Amino acid sequence: MWRTLPDDKAAARRVVRAQRRARREAQPPSDRAADAERLAEALLSRVNAPATVAAYVSLATEPPTEALLEALAADGHRVVVPVLLPDQDLDWRPLEDEGARLGVTAVGSADLVIVPALAIARDGLRLGQGGGSYDRALTRRRPDARVIACVYDDELAERVPADPHDQPVDAVVTPGHGVIELTGS
Ligand SMILES: Nc1nc2c(c(=O)[nH]1)N(C=O)[C@@H](CNc1ccc(C(=O)N[C@@H](CCC(=O)O)C(=O)O)cc1)CN2
Ligand SMILES: Nc1ncnc2c1ncn2[C@@H]1O[C@H](COP(=O)(O)OP(=O)(O)OP(=O)(O)O)[C@@H](O)[C@H]1O
């Protein structure tokens, strides 16, 4: 289940991005909708009392988050999503208001932070898009906030190339495996 990726960040990103583009071209819409439902179901069971959840609107090649976002809002949770700033840092807005801006510290109001990734390693280290956006945002999270990354089944890696600033995640969710807790070691 834990694959081997190139030891170089740029090379590892190229491998996963190419695979995501190929999946996107081959995958029927019904399979994508099924992935979205599985991710929503796996994550919803982890959110108990009314919570603030920092999540994100998925891009076309990413594991789909629409069903999850809708379900969180329908259950009465407060959902905030990122807005990319020119320096690649993340501002935040409420899911329901595209024009509002809550500021870079709004991630600190979240009980749960759901983060995008290209790959996640057994020890929780995350390969991201390379802007350092989440490395910065995660330093502002509440110390007791849980961080869960969302990837496809075949993006679980034995190791990912890491830098000292990389922020590990607590768990990872995939459509086929559900939520997997990571030990950080
Ligand atoms: N959905 C989503 N939102 C996010 C992020 C993310 O990874 N995913 N980010 C994380 O930091 C920030 C934006 N940074 C990003 C930087 C590069 C690419 C990128 O290279 N995307 C792919 C295209 C993917 C697609 O269109 O399906 C690419 O260009 O190959 C995406 C987001 C904030 N918001
Ligand atoms: N706390 C920080 N403050 C400022 N810049 C940072 C910080 N953390 C990381 N960076 C910068 O961000 C750049 C990309 O980092 P990295 O390759 O780890 O991105 P990533 O975590 O994969 O991407 P993303 O979080 O955007 O998905 C690096 O050049 C790094 O110097």
132 lines ligand 2 (CB under 6 A): yes
- Complex confidence, ipTM: 0.89
pLDDT at res. 58 = 98
* Tens-place pLDDT, residues 19-29: 999 999 999 99
**Residue 164: predicted pLDDT:** 87
- Cβ neighbours of 2 (radius 10 Å): 11
pLDDT-based confidence at 37, cuts 50/70/90?
very high
If 0-12 CB within 10 Å is exposed, 13-18 middle and 19+ buried, where does residue 185 land? exposed
- CA-nearest residue for atom 17, ligand 1, is 129
Quick one: pLDDT at residue 15? 98
Residue 185's pLDDT is: 55
Query: What is the pLDDT, as a whole number, of residue 184?
Result: 67
* 102 within a domain of the structure (yes/no): yes
Q: How far is CA 44 from the centre of its chain?
A: 14
The angle at the Cα of 31, spanning 11 to 171, to the nearest 5 degrees, equals 55
Print the domain residue range for 22. Answer: 9-181
Which ligand 2 atom sits closest to the C-alpha of 165? 8
Inside any domain, residue 2: no
Q: What is the number of domains present in the chain?
A: 1
Closest protein CA for atom 30 of ligand 1:
17
Q: Could you tell me if residue 143 is inside a domain?
A: yes
158-174 pLDDT, tens digit each: 999 988 888 899 999 99
Q: Which residues line ligand 1 (CB under 6 A)?
A: 17, 56-62, 82, 84, 90, 116, 128-129, 131, 133-134
| CATH number for 61 | 3.40.50.10420
Contact of 77 with 47, CB cutoff 8 Å: yes
Residue 19 lies in a domain: yes
